[in-house]
Amino acid sequence: MNYFFFSKESLFAFYLVSGIFKLIYPLLHIHGVPDITLLSAILLVFFMVKEAPEVLKNISINHAELIVIVLLFYGFMVLSLGYTTSESYCITKTVAFGTVILAFFFPILTKKFNINYFIYSFTIFTFIISIVFLNFYISYLNEDDIILLYMTNEEARELTVGYLAVAEFNGILVLYYFFSKRERPLFKWFLFLIAFGLLFISGGRGPLIFTLLILGGYMSYQLLLSLINFKIKKIVLPLLVVGLFSMALVSAIFIKTIDLKKNKSLKLIENSIERLITLKESEGGGDSAYSRILYTQFAIDKINKKPFLGYGIGSFGFEYTNIDDLDYPHNIFLEVWFELGIIPLILFLLLFYLVYQNILFTKSAWSLALYFYFLLNLLKSSSLIDIRIVTGFFALFILLKGKEIRNEGKYI
């Protein structure tokens, strides 16, 4: 246990969150650092190449099917290079998708991957990232000269998008610690509250809303079962959590009524509340939400004209803006259909279905909660090259089924 931070699982956790670390380096005026995603990927490949031959000798049919589906999907992506309307970005996107594949393959093709070590490492990295990033983000929101004068336009842009990754990572931890049955109660609820607080002040509306939807749906279900079966003890936790969330909501409304601008330390809370209110008060849900509607309409119109082959990998940006650069419809399934066509879309949906089939509903409730959390997020954000956190956790869900057999049905 004392060595988990130096394990391959810890390296894998770092690899999954390395993108946000790269956003933080310039803010700390750390320059000339090698690409940490690439470096960690090389180390992971080293581990995998070393252990995969032995793992492949005894690989299950289930795991083999999933690997084949991913490779077929990537094969169609490579083939689309022959007809894509993107001239240069297509290469970048095809290569970058390799990081997504590595995230899926590594836990499956290495020996005795310890999921607990991974979760501990992921928790530590997420909290470090969140605290450092939000420290700069609050200064940016307050328009502090010390930040604005020394920040390039690129660094400012990264600040305005990095908050979403911080929110997504903390949403993962909120759901894991809420549903996990392995952790000590005091320990898990302490980490749950920290993660929920960081999720709320980050300003990421999607992750926050989706997290609350999943928690609310679960608590409503448990409350209904408790009332039907007259099991009073099971009602206590749902009512307690509902009460806490209600108190938080009332507090948020109260905070909104005071002049937050006089207290710069509350700027993150003000920003989060204002972004949530914008969904209701602004036409179309605000600029961010409305732009997603436009993306969706454009993608559907173009797909109707070319539904079978798509426009080729990396083509959405060029088709939408006439600029060969990163852009996407903010819906992962529309992106696959738009760029790669109907067959890769079917393969992609099949992958999601098979991962769902591997989830242990009763013994590992956190994996089911995270599955729907990822699905909801992918329906409103993220590009194909940004989903290694998703494929990494999907690989863990698959591993859990084998662990359940070895643990004779215990909670995992």
CA distance 412 to 404: 7
Share of the chain above pLDDT 70, in %: 75
Please state the length of the chain: 412
Terminal CA-CA length for the chain:
17
Q: According to the model, what pLDDT value does residue 181 have? A: 82
Q: According to the model, what pLDDT value does residue 216 have? A: 86
Please compute the mean of the pLDDT values over residues 291-318 and round it to a whole number.
Answer: 92
Q: Is the distance from CB of 177 to CB of 188 less than 8 angstroms?
A: yes
| 170 burial type by CB count under 10 A (0-12 exposed, 13-18 middle, 19+ buried) | buried
Mean pLDDT of the chain: 83
Q: According to the model, what pLDDT value does residue 220 have? A: 80
Confidence of residue 38 (pLDDT cuts 50, 70, 90): very high
pLDDT tens per residue across span 57-83: 888 888 999 999 999 999 999 999 999
Q: Which run of H or E residues covers position 195?
A: helix 185-202
Q: Is the distance from CB of 56 to CB of 109 less than 8 angstroms?
A: yes
pLDDT higher than threshold 80 for residue 328? yes
More confident residue, 261 or 198: 198
Which of 3-7, 123-127, 251-255 ranks highest by mean pLDDT? 123-127
* Backbone dihedral angles phi then psi of residue 326, each to the nearest 5 degrees: -65, 125
Looking at 28-42, 79-93, 379-393, which range is the least confident one?
Answer: 28-42
pLDDT higher than threshold 80 for residue 289? no
Confidence of residue 284 (pLDDT cuts 50, 70, 90): low
pLDDT tens per residue across span 342-353: 999 999 999 999
Please compute the mean of the pLDDT values over residues 394-399 and round it to a whole number.
Answer: 94
pLDDT higher than threshold 60 for residue 409? no
CA distance 209 to 66: 31
Q: Is the distance from CB of 177 to CB of 192 less than 8 angstroms?
A: yes
Q: Is position 141 within any domain? A: yes
Q: Is position 411 within any domain? A: no
The residue to which tokens 């999601």 are assigned: 352
Residues 6+ apart with CB under 8 A from 32: none
Written as six digits, the tokens of 410 are 């215990």
Q: According to the model, what pLDDT value does residue 172 have? A: 97
Looking at 216-220, 230-234, 332-336, which range is the least confident one?
Answer: 230-234
CA distance 249 to 379: 26
Q: According to the model, what pLDDT value does residue 376 have? A: 94
| Residue 343 CB coordination number (10 Å) | 14
Q: According to the model, what pLDDT value does residue 12 have? A: 97
Q: According to the model, what pLDDT value does residue 408 have? A: 47
pTM attached to this predicted model: 0.88
pLDDT higher than threshold 70 for residue 260? no
CA distance 323 to 326: 9
Q: According to the model, what pLDDT value does residue 46 have? A: 94
Please compute the mean of the pLDDT values over residues 3-23 and round it to a whole number.
Answer: 86
Is residue 251 helix, strand or coil? helix
DSSP state letters, 211-245? HHHHHHHHHHHHHHHHHHHT-HHHHHHHHHHHHHH
Please compute the mean of the pLDDT values over residues 25-35 and round it to a whole number.
Answer: 74
Residues spanned by the domain of 229: 4-406
CA distance 205 to 230: 36
Please compute the mean of the pLDDT values over residues 30-39 and round it to a whole number.
Answer: 83
Amino acid at 258: I
Q: Is position 323 within any domain? A: yes
Task: Domain count for the chain, please give it.
Answer: 1
Q: According to the model, what pLDDT value does residue 406 have? A: 47
pLDDT higher than threshold 50 for residue 365? yes
- Counts for the chain of helices (H) and strands (E), in that order: 17, 0
Written as six digits, the tokens of 139 are 């200064």
Please compute the mean of the pLDDT values over residues 35-62 and round it to a whole number.
Answer: 92
CA distance 248 to 261: 20
More confident residue, 280 or 114: 114
pLDDT tens per residue across span 120-139: 999 999 999 999 888 877 77
The residue to which tokens 């992918």 are assigned: 378
Q: Is the distance from CB of 320 to CB of 296 less than 8 angstroms?
A: no
Q: Is position 34 within any domain? A: yes
